[in-house]
């Protein structure tokens, strides 16, 4: 989506905040249940939720692109899907055998990421233009796992948290400014590029204080309202399909009306994502012995 920001594209981060928010929320919900399952059954549910959408979105992407060609990585969902499927496998064993060690594992993940970045990562300066995140390198998937674990830990300890809307929003703004500020400096001044690794700290702050800010009474009222609730549930229910299909829909033809092009593009992505989700539900039900439940196929959330 970076190309849609026109002259402001230098502020784009390749979807870093969206990626880690998805991982945080995924980790948050994965460990809420204490239901005992073997690995095969637990992992199968992840596959059934994700890969019908991957298959459908891949086919729709081919139709939209008109190239009628797709590589293997796209067929399995791209980097993001491959990464989270690996994360899911690791999370199961952490949940089963080391659920009380999550903070220690988060720290270990951070230390390993730092070691790899300092001693093994060769593109510290090359990522200055595109940023450390986005599709320029695969390094981000190493520290990103810590965000999923962080979500799991917050989910387990949510009752122990205290909330202050003013403080939380202020810290959210500060974290966002530092996160974007360091990356902007790295893009404008190449010698600063290697310091982008420190943006993982304010990025964690964006996630943490974003979560705390969302616990404000305002959002609770919005969620419980007749209009706000369905909007929130619809958007959240289409996150996976939106991610999978967005790449083939983005166009710079509306850049002349920036920033309205972003709004229009989001609406288009959500509409096509909904169509893909319906087709995915249809695909899932096609492999069952039961009769089609058309209401569940077309439901928004």
Specify the pLDDT at position 74: 63
Burial class (CB in 10 A: 0-12, 13-18, 19+), 130: middle
Judge contact between 294 and 282, C-beta under 8 A: no
Residue with tokens 């070691």: 115
Specify the pLDDT at position 73: 58
State the Cα–Cα distance between residues 257 and 55, nearest whole angstrom.
Answer: 34
Task: Assign 275 a pLDDT band (cuts: 50, 70, 90).
Answer: very high
Express each pLDDT in 190-222 by its tens digit.
888 888 899 999 999 999 999 999 988 888 898
Q: Which residue has the higher pLDDT, 33 or 149?
A: 149
**φ/ψ bin of 137: left (φ > 0), alpha (ψ from -120 to 50), beta (otherwise):** beta
Specify the pLDDT at position 128: 65
Task: Please state the domain extents for the chain.
Answer: 2-298
Q: Which residue has the higher pLDDT, 43 or 190?
A: 43
Query: pTM higher than 0.85, yes or no?
Result: yes
Cα torsion angle, 182, 188, 194, 200, sign: positive
Residue 72 clears pLDDT 60, i.e. is over it: no
In order of 13, 135, 253, 272, 300, the CA distances from 261 in angstroms are 18, 23, 9, 16, 25
Residue 226 clears pLDDT 70, i.e. is over it: yes
Mean pLDDT of 47-59: 91
Most confident residue range from 158-162, 183-187, 198-202, 223-227:
198-202
* Cα–Cα nearest to 87, from 44, 135, 145, 142: 145
Mean pLDDT of the chain: 88
pLDDT over 90, % of the chain? 50
Lowest-confidence pick of 61-65, 173-177, 284-288: 61-65
Judge contact between 101 and 145, C-beta under 8 A: no
In order of 65, 115, 170, 249, 291, the CA distances from 13 in angstroms are 25, 23, 21, 19, 45
Residue 69 clears pLDDT 80, i.e. is over it: no
Residues in the chain: 301
Specify the pLDDT at position 9: 75
């Amino acid at each position: 989506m970076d190309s849609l920001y026109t002259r402001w594209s230098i502020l784009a981060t390749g979807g870093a905040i969206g990626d880690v928010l998805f991982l945080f929320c995924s980790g948050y919900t994965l460990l809420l249940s204490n239901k005992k399952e073997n690995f095969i059954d637990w992992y199968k549910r992840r596959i059934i939720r994700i890969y019908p959408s991957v298959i459908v979105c891949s086919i729709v992407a081919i139709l939209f692109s008109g190239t009628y060609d797709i590589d293997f990585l796209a067929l399995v969902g791209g980097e993001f899907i491959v990464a989270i499927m690996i994360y899911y496998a690791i999370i199961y064993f952490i949940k089963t055998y080391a659920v009380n060690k999550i903070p220690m594992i988060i720290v270990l993940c951070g230390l390993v990421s730092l070691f790899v970045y300092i001693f093994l990562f060769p593109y510290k300066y090359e990522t200055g233009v595109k940023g450390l995140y986005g599709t320029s390198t695969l390094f981000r998937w190493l520290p990103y796992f810590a965000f999923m674990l962080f979500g799991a830990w917050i989910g387990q300890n949510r009752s122990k948290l205290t909330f202050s809307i003013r403080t939380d929003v202020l810290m959210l703004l500060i974290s966002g400014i530092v996160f974007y500020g360091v990356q902007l400096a790295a893009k404008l001044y190449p010698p600063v590029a290697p310091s982008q690794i420190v943006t993982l700290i304010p990025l964690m702050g964006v996630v943490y204080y974003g979560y705390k800010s969302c616990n404000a009474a305002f959002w609770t009222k919005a969620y419980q309202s007749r209009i706000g609730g369905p909007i929130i549930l619809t958007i959240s229910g289409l996150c996976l399909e939106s991610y999978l299909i967005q790449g083939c829909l983005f166009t710079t033809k509306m850049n002349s009306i920036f920033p309205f092009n972003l709004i229009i593009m989001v609406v288009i992505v959500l509409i096509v994502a909904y169509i893909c989700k319906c087709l995915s539900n249809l695909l899932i039900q096609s492999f069952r012995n039961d009769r089609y439940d058309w209401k569940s196929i077309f439901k928004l959330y």
